[in-house]
Amino acid sequence: MSKQDKYLKVSNDRERYFYSSYISKMLNLPLMKTRLQSEKELNQAIKNKLEDTAERMRFIREARDAFSCKVIQNEEFDWIKSNQRCTFFILYYINHYLTNKKIFAISNHLYRGIHQSSAYERVDYPTPLDEYEYRKQGLPQAPNNAKDALNNIMCFFDLLDSSMEKKIEVLAYLKQEWMSIKDANYLSWLDEGNAIQMKWAKNYIARSRLFSRFPRSEAYTFASERVQLMGYFDVSLDISPDSKELLMIKMKKAWSQENYRNQIVEKKVLNTYLDKGVKDKLSRLAKRHRMKINEYLTYLIEKEDE
């Protein structure tokens, strides 16, 4: 009898969430009510409830088997991991759109027969149907970064009380939702390095009536500024692409006007008369130096004043 048979090894948050939920459910211990449990705390909880060594070993073995049967492999989430915008969109979607009713309704026949249900998996689905499973699971609403957001998504699937077949179907459904919007990059013209432009864009979108029903959530709190702004377009699924495109056109025009006003705010109009010959020479010299006339005049004056 090895120590491993009597001790539940937990190596990452994904395992910690799963085992916390499993122990809470199977041993009737509300472990996740306050905070995530450590490996030591999980094992102590098992020991406190199951004093008999043989019974404890059996429970730990069943817990490991349940984890193996209920967990989708990491590589299945690579399409989410590779794109921060995708990561936060999926997290928002399961938090605000994926009710148990929708989970129940999702059916992807492409995956039927590939992943068979095991003896450890449920064949029914979460209830009540109007609940959001992610919120019920007690997972963090505001991940600190994209990595944490991905971990939350994986933990959501680990804790989802459905068969492996259903989990694969739900993941495939979410991928289809992402693929339907990923090429619509309405804000590609924004320069994320331009703090003034990014702040202006944020204020413009926030004031837009188009997204007045958009429920801001903590899901995007720690996403990059560009991803936060794209979030308005991505998660507003009830707004047509044409409406979003029209807003983007108006937004670009408004920024051009704003940018122009900012550029001329410290400039003064100079009215003067020049002979036509001098004007032609000035135009020719400016063109030779690849400058506008006002830029070339500024250059000449600054050079003379050195």
| pLDDT digits (tens), the chain, 306 positions | 555 678 999 988 888 888 988 898 899 887 555 567 889 999 999 999 998 999 999 999 999 999 888 899 989 999 999 899 999 999 999 998 888 888 888 875 443 433 333 333 333 444 456 678 888 888 888 888 999 999 999 999 998 888 888 999 999 999 999 999 999 989 999 999 999 999 999 999 988 888 866 556 788 988 999 999 999 999 988 899 999 999 999 999 999 988 777 776 666 677 788 888 888 888 899 888 888 888 788 888 887 876
Alpha-carbon distance of 57 to 7, in angstroms, equals: 8
Give the Cβ contact number of residue 220 at 10 Å: 23
Q: In sequence order, which residues have a C-beta less than 8 Å from that of residue 77 and are 6 or more positions away? A: 150, 153, 154, 171
- Are 186 and 144 contacting, i.e. CB atoms less than 8 angstroms apart? no
Alpha-carbon distance of 140 to 221, in angstroms, equals: 12
Alpha-carbon distance of 154 to 94, in angstroms, equals: 11
What is the 3 state secondary structure string of the chain?
CCHHHHCCCCCCHHHHHHHHHHHHHHCCCCHHHCCCCCHHHHHHHHHHHCCCHHHHHHHHHHHHHHHHHHCCCHHHHHHHHCCHHHHHHHHHHHHHCCEHHHHHHCCCHHHCCCCCCCCCCCCCCCCCCCCEHHHHHCCCCCCCCHHHHHHHHHHHHHHCCCCHHHHHHHHHHHHHHHHCCCCCCCCCCCCCCCHHHHHHHHHHHHHCHHHCCCCCCHHHCCCCHHHHHHHHHHHCCCCCHHHHHHHHHHHHHHHHHHHHHHHHCCCCCCCCCCCHHHHHHHHHHHHHCCCCHHHHHHHHHHHHCC
Q: What per-residue confidence (pLDDT) applies to 121?
A: 36
Q: What per-residue confidence (pLDDT) applies to 245?
A: 93
Alpha-carbon distance of 163 to 56, in angstroms, equals: 26
Q: What per-residue confidence (pLDDT) applies to 244?
A: 93
Alpha-carbon distance of 111 to 148, in angstroms, equals: 28
Greatest CA separation for the chain = 106
